[in-house]
């Protein structure tokens, strides 16, 4: 065996923070000829499908489906409740908040951005200051990214709701749960979220191409007061269709719907509460290993406080630009693809682990074992006992 012999032959493991691993049941459900889009099975499955989507989001309110990625859901959500010239508040803990805010600006909405940098969660006092300063309620919505996938920070949505309530501020609470839905606990109605956007390719385990906007009565009232809404993004016909065609503003994403049906069956068979605790446990195993490696002072976890770490993605930094070499090693030699660094000052040093969706204990141990192997091969200093620490969490 030569030193650089590849061991990548076999099933590749895509451990990036979306798209996530697609379950075989989802792939198989999609492997079929095109169905009739005017009558029959596809049309009849919609009421249960939307009900089961709402169960994952923990809401009894409305959902509109878009044939789009998460960016489409971002634009859809903004387009239904904001008029050019209105203001939104965007507390940013990573690249994705900036992205959503930039999209709002392109729609003529004014953005008041509070940037907490790429490694810190929201500071509620600073958000409170901004809301207090807004005595005449120019701020119509807060763009709240639950888990920012670039930084792997999880922000405290219930605390933001409590703040808005305490200050009696009427701004809509709009949450981006693209990286958190089906991974981290999220309770749309209990947490008082007015609008929630998500997409199908992360915790929902379906190939990229569908996204969703959930909205409650407060958001509906704002939509009703809009002077006009783009015909394609309008959530009204999609959420209350007179006939099947209106769900999608045109031809249905036929195969995606079958895939999503299978994914929702997996989620509800396991139980959403169990899905959350599985992600939490697997995430703790990932952190346990990373914290051991970090003792060697080359690897750093981006988020120090466990309470603010996502259960679906972990952002890491390897000093000296060694994130990229580590990723290429695991991909070329082990068949393990890790996520690139995003939104960080030194992207060559940064990389991310996706641990979302269709994921179990042996996959997490394989992921961690692959990183251990790459660090050994690249002679990266690291604390010992990382895999033992992860195993102890899974065994515990």
Ligand X SMILES: *Cc1c(COP(=O)(O)O)cnc(C)c1O
Of 148 and 331, the one with the shorter C-beta distance to ligand X is 148
Of 149 and 349, the one with the shorter C-beta distance to ligand X is 149
SS3 199: strand
Under the binding rule (CB under 6 A), the answer on residue 178 touching ligand X is yes
The contact mask relative to ligand X for 137-156 (x = CB under 6 A, - = no) is --------x-xxx-------
Of 48 and 105, the one with the shorter C-beta distance to ligand X is 105
Under the binding rule (CB under 6 A), the answer on residue 212 touching ligand X is no
Of 8 and 208, the one with the shorter C-beta distance to ligand X is 208
- Part of the chain binding ligand X (CB under 6 A), chosen from 68-76, 161-169, 275-283, 328-336: 68-76
81-140 residues in contact with ligand X (CB under 6 A) are: 96
Residue 332 C-beta: closest distance to ligand X, Å: 25
The contact mask relative to ligand X for 248-277 (x = CB under 6 A, - = no) is ------------------------------
d(CA 100, CA 4): 43
Of 149 and 302, the one with the shorter C-beta distance to ligand X is 149
Under the binding rule (CB under 6 A), the answer on residue 70 touching ligand X is yes
Residue 380 C-beta: closest distance to ligand X, Å: 28
The DSSP-derived string for 70-114 is HHHHHHHHHHHH--TT-EEEEEESSHHHHHHHHHHHHTT-EEEEE
Of 72 and 323, the one with the shorter C-beta distance to ligand X is 72
Under the binding rule (CB under 6 A), the answer on residue 71 touching ligand X is yes
Question: How many residues touch ligand X (CB under 6 A)?
Answer: 14
Pick from 16, 82, 142, 199 the residue near ligand X by CB under 6 A.
Answer: 199
d(CA 390, CA 279): 14
Under the binding rule (CB under 6 A), the answer on residue 176 touching ligand X is yes
Residue 71 C-beta: closest distance to ligand X, Å: 4
- Part of the chain binding ligand X (CB under 6 A), chosen from 33-41, 69-77, 277-285, 315-323: 69-77
d(CA 157, CA 175): 8
Of 230 and 384, the one with the shorter C-beta distance to ligand X is 230
CB 337 within 8 A of CB 17: no
310-349 residues in contact with ligand X (CB under 6 A) are: none
Nearest residue to ligand X, by Cβ distance, number only: 70
d(CA 290, CA 285): 9
d(CA 364, CA 145): 26
d(CA 126, CA 163): 11
CB 61 within 8 A of CB 215: yes
Residue 366 C-beta: closest distance to ligand X, Å: 23
- Part of the chain binding ligand X (CB under 6 A), chosen from 67-75, 157-165, 232-240, 252-260: 67-75
Under the binding rule (CB under 6 A), the answer on residue 69 touching ligand X is yes
Residue 227 C-beta: closest distance to ligand X, Å: 28
Residue 96 C-beta: closest distance to ligand X, Å: 4
Strand order in the sheet with 13-15: 13-15, 336-340, 350-354, 313-318, 299-301
Residues ≥6 apart with Cβ < 8 Å to 236: 223, 229
Taking alpha carbons only, the member of 60, 74, 225, 198 closest to residue 140 is 225
Quick one: DSSP state of residue 301? Answer: E
The DSSP-derived string for 123-169 is -HHHHHHHHHT-TT--EEEEEEESEETTTTEE--HHHHHHHHHHTT-
Q: What's 322-384 look like in SS3?
A: CHHHHHHHHHHHHCEEEEECCCCCCCCCEEEEECCCCCCHHHHHHHHHHHHHHHHHCCCCCCC
Under the binding rule (CB under 6 A), the answer on residue 198 touching ligand X is no
Under the binding rule (CB under 6 A), the answer on residue 179 touching ligand X is yes
Of 26 and 178, the one with the shorter C-beta distance to ligand X is 178
Answer yes or no: is 352 a known binding residue. Answer: yes
> Length of the chain in residues, anyone?
396
The span from the first CA to the last CA of the chain, in angstroms, equals: 37
- Work out the number of other CB atoms within 10 angstroms of the CB of residue 120: 17
Of 21 and 167, the one with the shorter C-beta distance to ligand X is 21
Binding positions for ligand X, rule: CB under 6 A: 18, 69-71, 96, 145, 147-149, 176, 178-179, 199, 208
Q: Residue positions in the annotated binding site for substrate?
A: 352
Q: Residue positions in the annotated binding site?
A: 352
């Amino acid at each position: 065996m030569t030193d650089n012999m590849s061991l990548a032959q076999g099933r590749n493991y895509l451990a990036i923070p979306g798209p996530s691993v697609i379950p075989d049941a989802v792939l198989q459900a999609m492997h079929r000829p095109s169905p009739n889009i005017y009558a029959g099975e596809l049309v009849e499955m919609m009421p249960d499908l939307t009900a089961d989507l709402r169960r994952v989001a923990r809401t009894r309110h409305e959902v509109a489906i878009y044939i789009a990625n998460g960016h489409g859901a971002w634009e859809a959500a903004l387009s239904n409740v904001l008029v050019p010239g209105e203001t939104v508040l965007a507390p940013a803990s990573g690249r994705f908040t900036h992205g959503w805010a930039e999209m709002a600006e392109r729609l003529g909405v004014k953005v008041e951005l509070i940037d907490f940098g790429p490694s810190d969660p929201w500071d509620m006092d600073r958000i409170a200051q901004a809301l207090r300063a807004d005595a005449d309620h120019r701020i119509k919505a807060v763009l709240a990214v639950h888990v920012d996938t670039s930084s792997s920070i999880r922000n405290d949505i219930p605390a933001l709701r409590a703040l808005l309530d305490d200050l009696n501020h009427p701004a809509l609470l709009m949450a981006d749960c693209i990286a958190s839905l089906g991974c981290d606990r999220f309770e749309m109605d209990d947490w008082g979220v007015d609008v929630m956007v998500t997409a199908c390719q992360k915790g929902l385990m379906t190939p990229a191409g569908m996204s969703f906007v959930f909205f409650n009565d407060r958001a509906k009232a704002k939509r009703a007061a809009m002077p006009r809404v783009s015909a394609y993004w309008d959530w009204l016909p999609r959420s209350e269709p007179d006939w099947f065609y209106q769900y999608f503003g045109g031809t249905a994403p036929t195969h995606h719907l079958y895939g999503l049906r299978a994914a929702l069956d997996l989620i509800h068979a396991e139980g959403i509460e169990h899905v959350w605790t599985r992600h939490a446990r697997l995430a703790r195993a990932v952190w346990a290993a990373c914290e051991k490696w970090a003792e060697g002072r080359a690897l750093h976890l981006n988020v120090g406080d466990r309470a603010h770490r996502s259960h679906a993605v972990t952002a890491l930094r390897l000093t000296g630009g060694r994130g990229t070499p580590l990723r290429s090693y695991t991909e070329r030699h082990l068949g393990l693809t890790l996520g690139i660094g995003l939104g960080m000052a030194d992207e060559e040093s940064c990389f991310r682990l996706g641990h979302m969706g269709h994921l179990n204990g042996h996959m997490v141990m394989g992921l961690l074992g692959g990183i251990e192997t790459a660090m050994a091969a690249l002679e990266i200093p690291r604390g010992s006992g990382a895999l033992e620490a992860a195993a102890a969490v899974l065994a515990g």
